[in-house]
A and B are shown apart, each in its own frame.
Chain A
Amino acid sequence: DADVTQTPRNRITKTGKRIMLECSQTKGHDRMYWYRQDPGLGLQLIYYSFDVKDINKGEISDGYSVSRQAQAKFSLSLESAIPNQTALYFCATSVTGGKAQYFGPGTRLTVL
């Protein structure tokens, strides 16, 4: 089984809808991250969480919110989806003091 899973893997929605993307991990890591990737570009950090009670905005947090329900679960919500939020969304985890981040397989979101 994959260490970092994301659901759904693909989602098509309409402008104005509320969408939730979920991330779960079995690695036992305390830190979790949400990134988005636009076509042909690198990843940009949306939100990150060092533990259940510590959530921080990244560089492009406007229009997004997150919830860290447990150490193993980190959800990303789009309160009112808009077309320019069409992108690939990746969840990642790391352990405090570690150097590597471990990424999930991604969710492809299309907002019509």
Chain B
Amino acid sequence: DAKTTQPNSMESNEEEPVHLPCNHSTISGTDYIHWYRQLPSQGPEYVIHGLTSNVNNRMASLAIAEDRKSSTLILHRATLRDAAVYYCIPHIIQGAQKLVFGQGTRLTINP
């Protein structure tokens, strides 16, 4: 399985952009990169995924390095509701669609 490295915690201010990094140097060529987040007392929530090209959706943007060994989740304008643990998940075993959660990055947003 591909290994991931994320900062344990990050802090940002409301209405500012946030860049959440993830290193996944052992990712295989066919593994997608998924991001989920978990708000306090809730189940994980899908954020975004990508393979090679940068991706945008209504929640965030995903920037993927050309060598695919790292990626960055970008929240363009953080709100207090974005305070959560963010998980970078670079490997899903195709059969089970298993999500292998690491410890993630705990994001704190200051008012």
**Chain A residues close to B by CB (< 8 Å):** 4, 31, 35, 40-45, 48, 56, 58-59, 90, 92, 94, 99-106
> Which B residue's beta carbon lies closest to that of A108?
B41
- CB proximity of A9 to chain B, nearest CB, Å: 10
> Which B residue's beta carbon lies closest to that of A102?
B46
Interface members, chain B 10-66 (any A CB < 8 Å): 32, 34, 41-46, 49
Contact across chains for A94 and B97 when beta carbons are under 8 A apart: yes
What is the bound-complex CA distance between A47 and B43, given in angstroms? 17
Contact across chains for B101 and A101 when beta carbons are under 8 A apart: no
Q: B34 contacts which chain A residues (CB < 8 A)?
A: 99-100
Number of interface residues of B (CB under 8 A): 19
Q: A58 contacts which chain B residues (CB < 8 A)?
A: 96, 98
Say whether chain A's binding surface is mostly helix, strand, loop, or mixed: strand
**B103 interface hit (Cβ, 8 Å):** yes
Contact across chains for B98 and A100 when beta carbons are under 8 A apart: no
**B90 interface hit (Cβ, 8 Å):** no
**Contact for B104 among A31, A42, A105, A106, CB less than 8 A:** A42
Known: A100-B46, A104-B43, A105-B42. A31 touches B99 (CB 8 A): no
Q: B101 contacts which chain A residues (CB < 8 A)?
A: 42-44
Contact across chains for A103 and B96 when beta carbons are under 8 A apart: no
A sample of 7 more A-B contacts (CB under 8 A), given A40-B103, A43-B99, A43-B101, is A4-B43, A31-B97, A42-B101, A42-B102, A48-B98, A100-B46, A101-B99
Interface centre among B42, B97, B100 (most CB of A within 10 A): B97
23 pairs of residues in contact across A and B, judged by CB atoms under 8 Å:
A35-B99, A41-B103, A42-B87, A43-B44, A44-B101, A45-B98, A56-B96, A58-B98, A59-B98, A92-B43, A92-B44, A99-B32, A99-B49, A100-B34, A100-B49, A101-B44, A101-B46, A102-B46, A103-B43, A103-B44, A103-B45, A106-B41, A106-B42
Interface centre among A35, A59, A99 (most CB of B within 10 A): A99
- CB proximity of B67 to chain A, nearest CB, Å: 22
